[in-house]
Structure 1
Amino acid sequence: MSHRLFVPLSLGAAAILLAPPALADAVSDFYGKKEITVVVGTSSGGSYDTTARVTARHFGQYVPGKPAVIVQNRPGASSRVAANWLYNAGPRDGSIIGAFSQTLGMSQALGQRGIKYDAARFNWIGTPIQPISVMVGWKSSGIRSLLDAREKEFVVGATSATGANFIYPALANYLFDLKLKIIIGYKGANEVDLALERGEIAIRGSGTWNDVKADRPHWLAGDKIVILIQNSLKKHPDLPDVPRFVDLAKTPEQRAVLELMGRVAAIGRPWLTNRDVPAERVTALRTAFDATMKDVKFRAEAKKLKMEIDPLTGAELQAMVAEMVKTPKNIVDLTNAALSRDGTQCEKFTDVKYCAKKKKKKKAKKAE
């Protein structure tokens, strides 16, 4: 399932490979006195958090100097809060690694509000997995195909208007003239899943196929769900008869938009470090990441957690993000048009205990 890109070795990386021992010693000396902090841009317990923690447990041994590696969560706005902090206020020494949303590059390309970073200037380290995102329908609702929503309204659960679980159904509505009613503001994926089981909603806007198998096996055993689409560049071996999102495209413009979504999905659960980090440290982090992906104990732990290891290197991610932020204007405009419609707020639809609390806007201080 790897989507490999040919990326020529940069002059900087080549120079490091040929560098004198003193340079390598400097990297070892730096990390030997430092602690690496992996900042996860989402809340604890989800796919991003679990993947980051498993990787972090095996990563430090391959970094020169063998530093301790700790994990912290800094959730908010689909990792935007953490990314803005790292880019503008975080250290640029390679001591902080961001485990952020796959949507950073796309959000920037679309000119979304609240972006205070340049995704292409981050130093991308790698991704352990390229999970296949799927849209799940609850069978008792009557849905069997996503295009059934051309004739009948189906309710979709989502967490926020910036996440994939809103973006995919919103795109489907606009591109294919569907009748999907999107409810935004659920606290998290668990709350969306519970709403699905209660019959409150008919569709989960997005989630990974691997998480369905690992966390909701009773859905499959009880024949309770239908996989409506998979958002990926290639089909998952388990889902040969489930269409890819891009397979629904009827025009070149629709195809370009949905291929962009497929590339976003391929970015997976990425690791990156800040801009302007010394090249030799970036190389050391990328090399350590690649070694971790091959580590026997890492792979064994991942297998126990039913994680499907399918890595991309930092160089591959760097090239993908650089291309993504240069998405042509006509594709940007079409995508933004599709995403410009707001969903129904969660608290207007269901018991507020399932909804994320709205942040109170700070009142401007009166001038004294």
Structure 2
Amino acid sequence: MVFVLAIAAACSSDPTNTAPAPTDTSTPPTATSVPPTLAPGETPQPTATAVPPTPTRTAVPRPPTPTTIPTPEKPYWEGRTVTFISSFSPGGGHDFTTRLLARYMPQYLPGNPQAIVQTRTGAGGIVSMNYLVNSSKPDGMAVLDVTGNIINSQLVDAPGVQFDLAKVKILGLVSGGPYSCSVWHESGVSTMQEIIDSPTPIFFGSSPPTGWAINILKDYMGGNITSVDGYSGSTAQAAVALEQGEIDGWCTLWQGWTGARPDWVAEGKIIPVIQTTDNAAGDALLADLNVPTLLDFRDTMTEVQFNTAVAANAGNDIQLHFSIHPDTPPEIVAQLREAFWKSVTNPEFVADSLRTNRPVHPLPGDQVQAKMIQILENATPEVIAGLKDLLGG
């Protein structure tokens, strides 16, 4: 009976499976791209290919900044032109020396500039000095030939003077010396005493730089002299006037004649009659000719006249020098002075000058500058008044 009940219970139970379902661990299938179905005649489109991501760019270090190599500074004078200015007409000593200096100086300036020569005549150097001080630039590019007698023009405040020589920068002296007054061999006189005693006037050519010397002979010594004005001061111009009989005499540095007309000197056509200096030795070039000086005629002059005559001649000691603009920078002044000195002491320069019978007696610029200032400062009111009379001021 129990057996029957067990079977009955089994038959009447729920048929649902109560065993736990196994866990699904299978990997789902990967989706596969199914190409689209193409219509007849349709061209398949290219399948897009995945672009890989752009890799991160690594920063490249900048190269170091190059060190700038400085370009050597161009020499100040390179590519420039220096103008050498003569204050007197061609043919005389000033013009000759200006041209000679223009040949030599550039080689001693850093950069070797070019050189040209100009002529600016008028009023015994006043015109050219006015140009230098008031019109040229203070850059060292204008070098002026100066006569020492221009000092007298400043002392008497001559018409047209627009400069102060104490401020002008001087490069140096080529030569200097006393004036000598000479006569033409056909003038009828051959000594200063004969000029004093002459019954007829002896005609001397006069210019701003020479007029004072003629007036010493005429007004202080009593020479029978007539001044013929209108000359520039050039020895070459005077030579023509003497040959043509316009004048009988001329005052200048003796080397003006030995340089311009050595044949006249050798043949005795030009005769020196006096030297306007109180130095008994006088000009070395005249040492063998026994030419008198102011000392030999001191008795014909008052003390004031004698002192004035000596002062008037003072500028001749620095007769032929060269200057530049007053405001030229010191370093440029120094370079020009050095180049000047190397030029005038160059044996070839000296030889070239001596070939024309023009000796070179140089002085450095600072020494010439000191002499210039000394002459200007030592001129007393009495002497200045005397100079005004001599120069007709």
TM-score, structure 2 as length reference = 0.73
SS at match of 1:141: coil
One-letter amino acid of the structure 2 residue matched with residue 156 of structure 1: F
Tell me, yes or no, if structure 1 residue 288 matches structure 2 residue 333. no
Query: In the aligned structure 2, how far is the partner of 1:245 from the partner of 1:29?
Result: 51
The counterpart of 2:320, out of the listed 240, 262, 269, is 269
For 2:254, the equivalent position in structure 1 comes to 209
Q: CA deviation at 1:105?
A: 1.9
One-letter amino acid of the structure 2 residue matched with residue 42 of structure 1: F
For 2:297, the equivalent position in structure 1 comes to 248
Note if contact 2:142-2:324 (Cα within 8 Å) is conserved in structure 1: yes
Q: CA deviation at 1:124?
A: 0.5
Note if contact 2:190-2:273 (Cα within 8 Å) is conserved in structure 1: yes
For 1:18, the equivalent position in structure 2 comes to none
For 1:79, the equivalent position in structure 2 comes to 125
Task: String of CA shifts for 1:191-213, please: whole Å, max 9, x gaps.
Answer: 43344345553322x13322323
The counterpart of 2:354, out of the listed 303, 308, 325, is 303
Note if contact 2:108-2:339 (Cα within 8 Å) is conserved in structure 1: yes
Note if contact 1:231-1:245 (Cα within 8 Å) is conserved in structure 2: yes
Query: In the aligned structure 2, how far is the partner of 1:98 from the partner of 1:313?
Result: 16
Query: In the aligned structure 2, how far is the partner of 1:300 from the partner of 1:224?
Result: 26
Note if contact 2:204-2:247 (Cα within 8 Å) is conserved in structure 1: yes
Query: In the aligned structure 1, how far is the partner of 2:82 from the partner of 2:164?
Result: 23
SS at match of 1:79: helix
Query: In the aligned structure 1, how far is the partner of 2:91 from the partner of 2:184?
Result: 24
Query: In the aligned structure 1, how far is the partner of 2:358 from the partner of 2:265?
Result: 18
Tell me, yes or no, if structure 1 residue 331 matches structure 2 residue 383. yes
Q: CA deviation at 1:132?
A: 4.5
Q: CA deviation at 1:312?
A: 1.5
Query: In the aligned structure 2, how far is the partner of 1:70 from the partner of 1:191?
Result: 23
Query: In the aligned structure 1, how far is the partner of 2:218 from the partner of 2:192?
Result: 10
The counterpart of 1:226, out of the listed 271, 275, 283, is 271
SS at match of 1:282: helix
Q: CA deviation at 1:33?
A: 4.2
Query: In the aligned structure 1, how far is the partner of 2:83 from the partner of 2:259?
Result: 28
Q: CA deviation at 1:134?
A: 1.6
One-letter amino acid of the structure 1 residue matched with residue 216 of structure 2: L
Matched positions, count: 313
Give the number of the structure whose residues are more often helix, by fraction: 1
Query: In the aligned structure 1, how far is the partner of 2:144 from the partner of 2:268?
Result: 38
For 2:364, the equivalent position in structure 1 comes to 313
Q: CA deviation at 1:136?
A: 0.9
Structure 1 vs Structure 2 CA RMSD: 2.4
Taking a change above 3 Å as real, the CA distance of residues 340 and 317 of structure 1, as seen in their structure-2 partners, is: same
| Percent identity over paired residues | 24
Query: In the aligned structure 2, how far is the partner of 1:137 from the partner of 1:224?
Result: 8
Larger mean CA deviation between 148-157 and 48-57 belongs to 148-157
For 2:112, the equivalent position in structure 1 comes to 66
Q: CA deviation at 1:103?
A: 2.0
For 1:185, the equivalent position in structure 2 comes to 230
One-letter amino acid of the structure 2 residue matched with residue 150 of structure 1: I
Larger mean CA deviation between 188-197 and 259-268 belongs to 188-197
Taking a change above 3 Å as real, the CA distance of residues 285 and 201 of structure 1, as seen in their structure-2 partners, is: same
Query: In the aligned structure 1, how far is the partner of 2:148 from the partner of 2:385?
Result: 20
Note if contact 1:231-1:246 (Cα within 8 Å) is conserved in structure 2: no
Unmatched 5+ residue regions in structure 2? 1-71
Task: String of CA shifts for 1:270-317, please: whole Å, max 9, x gaps.
Answer: 100001111111111111111112213222322222220111111121
Task: String of CA shifts for 1:232-285, please: whole Å, max 9, x gaps.
Answer: 444223423111235423443233222223321111211000011111111111
Note if contact 1:109-1:324 (Cα within 8 Å) is conserved in structure 2: no
One-letter amino acid of the structure 1 residue matched with residue 224 of structure 2: K
Task: String of CA shifts for 1:111-140, please: whole Å, max 9, x gaps.
Answer: 111100001110011121225432112344
